[in-house]
Amino acid sequence: MGKSVLVTGGAGYIGSHTAVELINSGYEVIIVDNLSNSDRGSIEGISKITGVEPKFIEADCCDKEAMRRVFEENEFDSVIHFAAYKAVGESVAEPAKYYRNNLLSFITILELMVEYGRRNVLFSSSATVYGDAEQLPVTELTPRKPATSPYGNTKQMAEDILRDMVAANDNIAGIALRYFNPIGAHPSALIGELPRGVPNNLVPYITQTAAGIRECLSIFGDDYDTPDGSCLRDYIDVVDLARAHVVAVDRLSNGRNKDRYEVFNVGTGRPVSVFELVRGFEEANSLKLNYRVAPRRAGDVKAVWADTTLANEELGWRAERDLSDTLRAAWEWEKHVRQ
Ligand code: NAD
Ligand code: WQD
């Protein structure tokens, strides 16, 4: 016990990369996923990269009896809870689906942790909780803004649920990691992001355009009050992000957390515009991308990027991967998927 981690949603994009980093750091990994937005290929990828096959249980985290069996039959004292739906637009159209899946899955896990005396939990939160922030970069103390989508609201509500569960249970400790914009793929090209249908996010749209699956990338707005008129974001390499989970689990496992509930921004601390990202992709991969400027997308904020001082100092973590390496890995993954 102690070196095992339950990873919910571990067949997904960030979960699979985190499983690799955990295994490479000596943790035993148990993955639970219902494959609603992933497939078993990522489990194979994890095995190929690490040489270790993680235990995989196909189950729904909202199914309390199935999850009870997972807790009964497996020894771990840390849980990383990735399992959730994440499409912002879909959450506006189908809010109940999002509230049910994202909140019920987490509450189920937390209740079982209390019942079975499992101590540590990491939660996947998002920079979306900051909304259109008044001061940039945002620190963990920057006030959250009222959510503009049910998806964003599930992240705020889940953070509050975690805070309250920790306050009420002396033997639970939790960390919420607020991810900025995760991009890229494992350098082996054996795992990566698998968007279903038309991608909403910028980098999968770029790679699919480069692959000829989409005709043309639309850049949503060049008239923002930013240096080149396009939006600014903090794009974090998924492997760097995965490593942040390992150090956060280490911190909880070693009891080094100062408070039993903590929040950390996980970003690079560097704002990058849409035009810069597109140019960076073209240069990193020596190709030309078909793109045009389109009207602003409803709901987009002009700019958001992280102050990462807290994660740097407290977790001893910082983003290391170079943006061009990240954009090369994204393209390698896209080509691998199309093979
Ligand atoms: P993903 O869809 O690739 O991974 C989520 C995984 O959870 C999928 O494999 C899916 O099958 C699984 N899942 C969903 N509901 C489940 C349930 N009820 N029971 C079991 N498995 C379930 O998404 P991701 O990009 O890896 O995101 C992981 C987490 O990080 C999510 O909580 C997401 O909201 C959060 N997050 C993602 C981003 C991003 O841009 N990718 C940014 C901030 C936060
Ligand atoms: C990035 C930039 C777009 C697509 C979303 C969620 C957020 C978090 C991360 C989960 C923006 C521009 C995009 C395109 C474009 N997810 N863009 N053309 O919106 O910052 O964040 O993913 O928690 O909650 O909202 O990411 O990748 O969609 O957009 O010009 O085809 O790229 O306008 O400026 P976003 P994104």
pLDDT of amino acid 338: 86
pLDDT of amino acid 1: 43
Which ligand 2 atom minimizes the distance to the CA of 294? 30
* Cβ 149 under 6 angstroms from ligand 1: no
Q: List, for the chain, all residue ranges whose pLDDT scores fall below the cut of 70.
A: 1-2
| Nearest Cα residue to atom 30 of ligand 1 | 124
What is the 157 CA–ligand 2 centroid distance (Å)? Answer: 21
pLDDT of amino acid 258: 86
Active-site pick, 151, 179, 224, 235: 151
**pTM assigned to the model:** 0.98
* Cβ 101 under 6 angstroms from ligand 1: yes
What is the 261 CA–ligand 2 centroid distance (Å)? Answer: 28
- Ligand 2 cavity residues, CB under 6 Å: 86, 88, 126, 128, 181, 200-202, 205, 217-220, 231, 233, 274, 297, 300
3-state secondary structure labels for all residues of the chain: CCCEEEEECCCCHHHHHHHHHHHHCCCEEEEEECCCCCCCHHHHHHHHHHCCCCEEEECCCCCHHHHHHHHHHCCCCEEEECCCCCCHHHHHHCHHHHHHHHHHHHHHHHHHHHHHCCCEEEEEEEHHHHCCCCCCCECCCCCCCCCCCHHHHHHHHHHHHHHHHHHHCCCCEEEEEEECEEECCCCCCCCCCCCCCCCCCHHHHHHHHHCCCCCCEEEECCCCCCCCCCCEECEEEHHHHHHHHHHHHHHHHCCCCCCCEEEEEECCCCCEEHHHHHHHHHHHHCCCCCEEEECCCCCCCCECCECCHHHHHHHCCCCCCCHHHHHHHHHHHHHHHHC
pLDDT of amino acid 339: 81
